[in-house]
Amino acid sequence: MDETFELERGRVETTEPLQPTGIAASALDAGHIGLMTIAADTYEIEVSTQAARILNLGSETKLSLENFLRRCVYTNDRPETDRALRSLSDPEGVGQCQIEFRLEDEEGEFLWIEVVLKTFFDVGTSPRAALRADGIVRDITEDVTRRDGLERRIENQNHWIKNMFAVVQGIAYQSFRPLDAATNALSDFQGRLKTLSSTHDLLAGGVFRGVFLNDLIRGVVTSCGGSNDQVAISGYPMRMNSKQAIAMSMILRELVSNSIRHGAMSVPEGTVHAFWQRNASSELITFVWREADGPEVTEPKEEGTGVRLMSRICAIEFGGIVNFDFDPDGVAVSMKFSNRSLKEIDI
C-alpha cells in the first residue's frame, strides 16, 4: 500500500510535475505540449501552464470537468469527450484514452486538441480503484490541416483516375465496335479494366499502404460478378504493395472469369478453394486456386490468352512460375514465387 499512498499523495499535495522547468519546459513548448492530471474521485482537472496556454485558459490551471468541457471543448465534441474522460475511472476499463476535439477560439476559428491520458489504479483494492489519470495536452491543428489536405488530394486523385478508367473504357468500346469478331475481346478488355478499377478502390481505402491477399480475392470475385459464397479462402495474413496487388488482381481476374464462364462458379454447387502457404526452408510461397463440383474439365488443345497472361505476369512481377492441372474433376492452378518478392505482414 505504500506505493498507492505515494501516488495519491503525489496527486493531492504535489504540483511540481505539472510545472516543468528548464529543458523540459522548452521541449514541451516547442512541441506545443502541456501536461494534465485528473482526480479520479472528483474529476477535478489540473493542467500545466503550457497546457493552459494551449487551451486558452489564461492563468487558470485548475477547473472542474464540467467547466473544462464548457470552456475548452466545442459543443458537438463534448459528449464524446465527456464519455472518454469519465471512462478513465472505470475499474473494468482499459484505463487510458486518446481523444481529439475542437476548441473554438475568440475569433471563431477552430483549434484541434489531442489529449492522451493513462489511469493509475490502486491494485490493493477489489475491485481496483482509480487514483488519478495523467497525460498530455497537444495542439494538433497543423497536423490535422496537413492530414485533411492530404486526404483531399488523394480523393481528387482517385476521382481523376476513376474518370480515366471510364474514358479508356469508352475509347475501347468505340475502337472494338466495328469489329464483329472482337466482341469477346471487348468484353475481356472491359472486365480487366473493371478489375483494375476495383483494385484501385481497395488500395485507395488503405491509403495505398497495400492490400491483404484475402481482401484482394474477394474484391476480384465481386468485380467479376461472382459469388464469394462459392470461394473458400485460407492462408496466413499476406499484404501486397500497390504494384504487386495490381499484378495479382490480373491473375485472379483470369481465374475468376474463367471459373464463372466454364468452371466451378458457373454452377450453383461448384466450389473454389484459394489458399497459400510458405516454405520456411526454401522461402517459397505457393498460391493455389483449386476448383471442384463444377462441369467436367477438358484440357485445351492450345495455350489460351489467359494462360499466357498469367504466366507472363507471374514471371515478370513475382519472378515465379504458374502450373496448370486440368483435372477432369476440377482445374487447379498453382503459383510458386519467392518470399522475398513480397512485402508481407504477420499479425
Read off the pLDDT of residues 84-95 as tens digits, 9 standing for 90 and up: 999 998 888 888
DSSP state of 297: P
Q: Is residue 159 part of a domain?
A: no
Interval 153-168 mean pLDDT: 67
Give the span between the Cα atoms of 41 and 130, in whole angstroms.
8
Q: Which helix (H) or strand (E) holds 35?
A: strand 33-39
- Grid coordinates representing 123 are 491494485
pLDDT of residue 260: 94
Q: Is residue 263 part of a domain?
A: yes
Q: Which of 88, 106, 139 is at the close of a domain? A: 139
The residue written with cell numbers 466450389 in the block is 271
The pLDDT tens digits of the residues spanning 277-316 come to 988 776 789 999 999 999 999 888 888 888 888 998 899 8
Same-domain status, 252 and 129: no
Determine how β-strand 271-279 pairs with β-strand 231-234.
parallel
* Strongest mean pLDDT among 9-23, 76-90, 242-256, 271-285: 76-90
Residue type, 309: L
Confidence of residue 169 (pLDDT cuts 50, 70, 90): low
DSSP state of 94: -
| Farthest-apart Cα atoms in the chain, separation | 89
pLDDT of residue 191: 74
Residues in the chain: 347
Same-domain status, 135 and 245: no
* Domain around 39: 2-139
- Grid coordinates representing 138 are 497537444
pLDDT of residue 199: 74
Same-domain status, 22 and 131: yes
- Percentage of residues of the chain with pLDDT beyond 70: 81
User: Is the pLDDT confidence value at 6 over 60?
Assistant: no
User: Is the pLDDT confidence value at 107 over 90?
Assistant: no
pTM above 0.75? no
pLDDT of residue 137: 94
Same-domain status, 311 and 230: yes
Interval 54-74 mean pLDDT: 93
Least confident interval from 47-51, 111-115, 234-238, 299-303 = 299-303
Residue type, 347: I
User: Is the pLDDT confidence value at 345 over 60?
Assistant: no
Closest CA to 342 of 237, 192, 255, 205: 237
Peptide bond before residue 127 is cis, with ω within 30 degrees of 0: yes
The average confidence (pLDDT) of the chain is 82
Give the span between the Cα atoms of 221 and 194, in whole angstroms.
11
CATH number of the CATH domain containing 103: 3.30.450.20
Q: Which of 119, 139, 159 is at the close of a domain? A: 139
The pLDDT tens digits of the residues spanning 196-246 come to 777 777 776 655 667 889 999 999 999 889 999 999 999 998 888 888 888
pLDDT of residue 183: 55
The pLDDT tens digits of the residues spanning 241-250 come to 888 888 888 8
For the chain, the domain total comes to 2
Closest CA to 217 of 190, 256, 244: 256
Same-domain status, 132 and 234: no
Q: Is residue 204 part of a domain?
A: no
Q: How many CB atoms are closer than 10 A to CB 36?
A: 24
Q: Which of 104, 120, 139 is at the close of a domain? A: 139
Measured CA to CA in angstroms, residue 158 lies from 64, 132, 168, 172, 244 at distances of 46, 46, 15, 21, 19
What phi, psi does 141 have (nearest 5°)?
A: -55, -45
Question: Residue 339: CA atoms inside 13 Å, Cβ hemisphere, count?
Answer: 14
Where would I find the beta strands (DSSP E) of 184-320?
211-212, 231-234, 239-240, 271-279, 284-292
The residue written with cell numbers 516543468 in the block is 20
